[in-house]
Structure 1
């Protein structure tokens, strides 16, 4: 009896081209959107694995990056910088505070606000975060030439600009479809 061979066995590159999440028929009209969804999910998963080793969760490193770069910030300013929402930022800052990576101190200019500032312990973490981001970039762009990396970045930036522009437009009336 002849054994059947899968496409991956016949074509070793086929497994690399397969979607990690099946594309449902309802998504057939949005192949780029579905690919973005799959890519974002995988990227976050790998980031989570790498960051977990140093005691962070995805997104927390972005808060730390801004604090290291800009110094103490009001929480509302972090919300704006990261295009987040207040509840998510509150949880993120609380967790970073419990881990000893940030502390709150009263704002010298606004008695109602406090500033979130990185601690000395967080500065020791900075090199690890930078190393993880380099590793994540290498994982994501393995096999890309310098030109392909530049092209990929340009396409991603254009997709982002399209979505930012669409978000700025007034909503279209619902046609009932």
Structure 2
């Protein structure tokens, strides 16, 4: 580990793992014609049904510009359809298309392969411990983000 990152050994480890995870996810998702993050939008739509675009932003912790770009690409690929919301003319409803149903199986297979790659060298107990530790880290980061956002206002 470079001396300059020794004070942040855990942060450096998280960065390395996140980078490799995203790289592998991108390689696997490329096979089904998706980019990382697009599968998360599709999973929400498959599981929850049609959603307002603003709700997808909230559910996925995204921002409006990124979600607009993602939806546009998914729509161009034929996986989602957009139409104006009947109750709020400023909003759009995003729904999965019939064509996306075949994609669902492929995405599930990609995620199973990704999960297998992540957990390959861990016992079931170690997998549970890793999930618990990552959940605690996530909570810490959520609180830190909220604190910093409050001080910026």
Please indicate the TM-score interval, normalised by the length of the shorter structure: over 0.9
Within 1, Cα distance between the matches of 2:150 and 2:58?
Answer: 25
In the superposition, the TM-score normalised over structure 1's length comes to 0.82
Larger Rg: 1
2:142 to 164, 167, 170: 164
Whose helix fraction is larger, Structure 1's or Structure 2's? 2
Paired position in structure 2 for 1:138: 116
Question: How far apart are residue 171 of structure 1 and its match?
Answer: 6.0
Within 2, Cα distance between the matches of 1:127 and 1:153?
Answer: 25
In the superposition, the TM-score normalised over structure 2's length comes to 0.94
Equivalent residues in 2 for 1:5-16, closer than 5 Å: none
Extract structure 1 runs of 4+ deviating beyond 3 A: 170-173
Equivalent residues in 2 for 1:87-106, closer than 5 Å: 87-106=65-84
Q: Give the unaligned 5+ runs of structure 1.
A: 1-22
Question: How far apart are residue 44 of structure 1 and its match?
Answer: 0.4
| 8 A contact 2:74–2:80 mirrored in 1 | yes
RMSD between superposed Cα atoms in Å: 1.4
Higher relative contact order (CA 8 A, sep 6+): 2
